[in-house]
Amino acid sequence: MVSIDHVASKILTYMPYVLVLIDMRYEGVRCGKDGSVDNHMEMGKKLLAAGQLADALSHFHAAVDGDPKNYMAYYRRATVFLAMGKSKSALPDLSRVIELKPDFTSARLQRGNLLLKQGKLDEAESDFKKVLKSNPSDKEEKEAKSQLAKSDELQRLVAQSRSSFNERDYMTAITHLDTIIETCVWDASSREMRAECYIQMGEMGKAVSDLKAASKLKNDNTQAFYKLSTIYYNLGDHEMSLNEIRECLKLDPDHKQCYSHYKQVKKLNKQIQSAEELIQEQRYEDAVGKYEAVMRTEPNVHQFTLLAKERICHALAKDQQASRAVPVCSEVLQSDPENVNVLKDRAEAYVQDEQYEEAIKDYETAGKYSENDHQIKEGLERAQRLLKQSQRRDYYKILGVKRTAKKKEIIKAYRKLAQQWHPDNFQDPQEKKKAEKKFIDIAQAKEVLTDPEMRNKFDQGEDPMDPESQQGHHHPFNGGFHGFQGFNPFGSGSFNFKFNFN
């Protein structure tokens, strides 16, 4: 086994020779630097021509590192950056080329074009004028003159757009800014001004588009993120508002406007999320209370009031509180008559309240705005069946109970009515006949509504006691009154009916 001391001894012995070799290699690279740069330049050009931009860029990086004063290396790298759509990276390289070789007209012309796109019109104009003074080619001269004229025209439009904006003539300002932005595509200030025009005109969607672009075009653009957040907030989109205000705070955690707004949005967002969780858990009354808190937190933004009432409408409809749900739903529809969700919820509440014709109207209206919604189709068919059913025999009405009645309530109502309409209570033949029919209806109602399967069928608009809809099914009442022999409607003791049939 070789000892550590032995290895250390060998390293010390050969170290001087290693250092000499490293030094010689370094000198060789340094002395042969130009050749190495040439190789990188040649390979970079070939890769660029082949469209292999990332590999070409790597070689031009090496060329710049090998010779920081090689203006062609910077120029080639700028060319690759432009081909990759990275104009911000290209601009410093073009400036370095011009610094190293002021009469390089191609680089100056390209820089002028980039400055023009950024909206830096004075700097672009300076480059185009210098191109014209530096003995350019015919093609370069023609392009420089054209771009110089365009720069002059854009400067005039910028002045006019600012004047129109100050005079609150936002439409005219937008017209000028549209033309400016067609050329100055990377000009953040023009987009911000156009966004402000759109805000003043109430066209928030267009304002959002411009502000999003401006937030990317300008570094540390906290104001753009703040405006985006407030627009989304006023539109009632609390989640997008929260996302944008967080971007502002990432850039500046101490930004007063953004932090103050962040606290408000975060509080509201938390309340809405909690309310939605309560709805998912079917804790509808608690959800209603939470959405009422949302309206207290933000009473000034109409969209949040609408959102809260829309969800309260939904929760109450789900909780089968029709009398409370209908007015709230109706209030939302006054402001937003095409709200399909609210139309469906109010229709369901109308069904619960046995206002079937009103339910049908709501489902039909909702269907106009959402043709392929299966819930609307199913709800409409159900409401139509229930309407037909209500025009015939309604077991709930027979017993005088609500559709939401529990089994105990149904049995209690049945016993009371069965005692009232017992045929033995009537002596007159006509009255006895009427009582017999009434008593059968009462018994059938109790039979249907205390059987979960039959009650569900009835609630869907199907009468389980109707022979037409129940062909092939046998029911205990189909054979007439003999089905009642030995039957005690009051649930205790022996009881026999004695009927006299004429």
Using a cut of 0.75, tell me whether the model's pTM lies above it: no
Shared domain check, 88 and 22: no
User: Quick check: is 189 in a domain?
Assistant: no
Domain boundary among the residues 361, 390, 419 is at 390
Q: Which helix (H) or strand (E) holds 48?
A: helix 33-49
Cβ atoms of 360 and 383 within 8 Å: the answer is yes
Q: How far is CA 292 from CA 200, 301, 316, 346, 458, in A?
A: 31, 14, 13, 19, 36
- Counting DSSP H helices and E strands in the chain, the numbers are 24, 0
Phi then psi for residue 377, to 5 deg, are -60, -45
Domain boundary among the residues 390, 421, 443 is at 390
Shared domain check, 474 and 345: no
User: Quick check: is 91 in a domain?
Assistant: yes
Shared domain check, 150 and 71: yes
Quick one: tokens of 482?
A: 């003999």
User: Quick check: is 193 in a domain?
Assistant: no
Shared domain check, 83 and 8: no
Shared domain check, 21 and 109: no
Q: Rounded to whole angstroms, how far apart are CA atoms 188 and 196?
A: 12
Shared domain check, 384 and 241: yes
- CATH number of domain containing 253: 1.25.40.10
pLDDT of 475? 46
Shared domain check, 318 and 272: yes
Shared domain check, 122 and 46: yes
Residue type, 421: W
- The range of the structural domain enclosing residue 440 comes to 405-484
User: Quick check: is 433 in a domain?
Assistant: yes
Q: How far is CA 412 from CA 399, 400, 434, 484, 495, in A?
A: 9, 11, 22, 19, 18
Q: Rounded to whole angstroms, how far apart are CA atoms 291 and 308?
A: 5
Shared domain check, 422 and 349: no
Q: How far is CA 443 from CA 88, 393, 410, 481, 489, in A?
A: 85, 13, 11, 11, 8
Tell me: the pLDDT tens digits for 145-181? 999 999 999 999 999 999 999 999 999 999 999 999 9
- The tens place of each residue's pLDDT in the chain, 502 residues long, gives 444 444 344 444 444 433 333 333 333 333 334 458 889 999 999 998 999 999 999 999 999 999 999 999 999 999 999 999 898 899 999 999 999 999 999 999 999 999 999 999 999 999 999 999 988 999 999 999 999 999 999 999 999 999 999 999 999 999 999 999 999 999 999 999 999 999 999 999 999 999 999 999 988 899 999 999 999 999 999 999 999 999 999 999 999 999 999 999 999 999 999 999 999 999 999 999 999 999 999 999 999 999 999 999 999 999 999 999 999 999 999 999 999 999 999 999 999 988 999 999 999 999 999 988 999 999 999 999 989 877 777 888 899 998 889 999 999 999 999 999 999 999 888 788 888 988 998 999 999 999 999 999 888 888 888 766 555 444 444 434 434 433 444 443 333 444 333 3
Q: Rounded to whole angstroms, how far apart are CA atoms 258 and 250?
A: 10
User: Quick check: is 458 in a domain?
Assistant: yes
Q: Rounded to whole angstroms, how far apart are CA atoms 395 and 331?
A: 33
Cβ atoms of 346 and 325 within 8 Å: the answer is yes
Shared domain check, 417 and 331: no
- CATH number of domain containing 411: 1.10.287.110
Q: Rounded to whole angstroms, how far apart are CA atoms 189 and 195?
A: 10
Phi then psi for residue 135, to 5 deg, are 55, 60
Question: Structural domain tally of the chain?
Answer: 4
User: Quick check: is 493 in a domain?
Assistant: no
Shared domain check, 426 and 323: no
Shared domain check, 226 and 366: yes
Locate tokens 């067609």: which residue?
A: 182
- Calculate helix-pair angle for 222-234, 256-280, nearest 10 degrees: 40
User: Quick check: is 399 in a domain?
Assistant: no
User: Quick check: is 290 in a domain?
Assistant: yes
Distance of CA 436 to the CA centre of its chain: 62
pLDDT of 469? 59
* Number of other residues whose CB lies within 10 A of the CB of residue 8: 10
Helices (H), 235-373: 238-251, 256-280, 284-297, 302-318, 322-335, 340-352, 356-369
- Calculate helix-pair angle for 121-132, 105-117, nearest 10 degrees: 160
Single out the residue of 397, 401, 398 nearest to residue 443, CA to CA. Answer: 398
Q: How far is CA 258 from CA 119, 200, 213, 225, in A?
A: 28, 21, 19, 9
Could you give the 3-state DSSP secondary structure of residue 215?
A: helix
For residue 451, what is the DSSP state? Answer: S
Q: Count the residues in the chain.
A: 502
Based on C-alpha coordinates, what's the Rg of the chain?
Answer: 41
